Chains A and B, each alone.
Chain A
């Protein structure tokens, strides 16, 4: 037996999944943890352990105050990676494995801080 919760004004017995706020037959987008890591100058890689035993879905955000040299108002913001960090095509990227999330950067002269959101979901859902 499924548990379903519909959006207001939709009939839970007949409406499609797009109008359901919850359906127990569909996997939820649940968060395993959120971690912060700083890769300092001279460092090109950093590892966050999750030890889930499978490669989970993950998002990684960069904390920054500028995007490229010409776009800086000094206000802190977040930005998703993978992304480029300058016009030369230097980049920030990440990958997930069964035990770790690894963030890579191909610039050594700048320190970057990242927030990584690891979800409970594997690619098998």
Chain B
């Protein structure tokens, strides 16, 4: 028998999933691990989750752009870590690869230039398999 908790004013017999704060018919997204990371602007961070399958992952980070004079600038905000800043002479990009036991968080650029500086971010790895 399912366990259900409705939102205020909603009927427990509703067939609309969004009417429930909790409905055990639908699995909850459960956090397996989370944390922060810092990586070089040309760099990679590997985080081990050891789940044995590819889980749901959320990674957010600062993105890198250029100031137009060849120097990198970083955003103060955090964006989904699949960003791509298309420039006239160099393109910076960041992406996350989700493997069975690790995730790799990459930052690179089309010049493959070891630009000085670091980028900060955070991640959530969930128990659920995609």
Q: What is A's interface to B at a CB cutoff of 8 Å?
A: 3, 22, 24-32, 34, 52-54, 56, 59, 61, 67-68, 71, 75, 77-84, 87, 89, 115, 117, 119-122, 124-125
Which of A22, A52, A68, A80 is the most central at the interface, judged by chain B CB atoms within 10 Å of its CB?
Answer: A80
**Chain B, interface SS category:** strand
* Interface size range on B against A: 20 to 34
- How many angstroms from the CA of A45 to the CA of B88 in the assembled complex? 29
CB distance from B48 to the nearest CB of A (A): 15
Instruction: Give the chain B neighbours of A87 by CB distance below 8 A.
Output: 91, 110
- How many angstroms from the CA of A29 to the CA of B126 in the assembled complex? 11
Instruction: Give the chain B neighbours of A24 by CB distance below 8 A.
Output: 5, 21-22
CB–CB B130/A27 < 8 A: no
- How many angstroms from the CA of A34 to the CA of B128 in the assembled complex? 11
CB–CB B26/A32 < 8 A: yes
- How many angstroms from the CA of A71 to the CA of B119 in the assembled complex? 20
Count of chain A to chain B residue pairs whose CB atoms are closer than 8 Å in the complex: 88
Q: What is B's interface to A at a CB cutoff of 8 Å?
A: 5, 7, 16-18, 20-23, 26-29, 54, 56-57, 59, 80, 82, 84, 86, 91, 93, 95-99, 104, 106, 110, 128, 130
Instruction: Give the chain B neighbours of A89 by CB distance below 8 A.
Output: 84, 86
Q: Which 3 A-B pairs have the closest CB atoms?
A: A120-B17, A30-B26, A29-B29
CB distance from A44 to the nearest CB of B (A): 19
CB–CB B26/A31 < 8 A: yes
